[in-house]
Chain A
Amino acid sequence: SSELTQDPAVSVALGQTVRITCQGDSLRSYYASWYQQKPGQAPVLVIYGKNNRPSGIPDRFSGSSSGNTASLTITGAQAEDEADYYCNSRDSSGNHLIVIFGGGTKLTVL
Chain B
Amino acid sequence: QVQLVESGGGVVQPGGSLRLSCAASGFTFSSYGMHWVRQAPGKGLEWVTFMRFDGSNKYYADSVKGRFTISRDNSKNTLYLQMNSLRAEDTAVYYCAKDMDGDYGGDFDYWGQGTLVTVSS
- A contact set with B: CB distance below 8 Å: 1, 30, 33, 35, 37, 42-45, 48-49, 54, 84, 86, 88-90, 96-104
Complex alpha-carbon distance, A88 and B112, angstroms: 18
Q: Is B109 within 8 A of A97, CB to CB?
A: no
Provide the residues of chain B in CB contact with A89, threshold 8 Å: 106
- Asked whether, in the complex, the Cβ of A35 is within 8 Å of the Cβ of B45, the reply is yes
The 0/1 profile, CB within 8 Å of A marked 1, for residues 90-121 of chain B is 00000100001000111111011110000000
Instruction: Check if B113 sits within 8 Å of A86, measured CB to CB.
Output: no
Chain A residues, Cβ within 8 Å of B61: 98
CB-CB under 8 A from A30, the residues of chain B are 106
Interface hub of B50, B111, B112, B114 (most chain A Cβ within 10 A): B111
**CB neighbours of A102 from chain B (8 A):** 44
Q: Smallest CB–CB gap between A94 and chain B, Å? A: 11
Q: A37-B45, A42-B112 are in contact. List 19 more A-B contacts (CB 8 A).
A: A1-B62, A33-B106, A42-B95, A43-B111, A44-B111, A48-B107, A84-B44, A86-B44, A88-B108, A89-B106, A90-B106, A96-B59, A97-B59, A97-B104, A98-B61, A99-B35, A101-B47, A104-B44, A104-B45
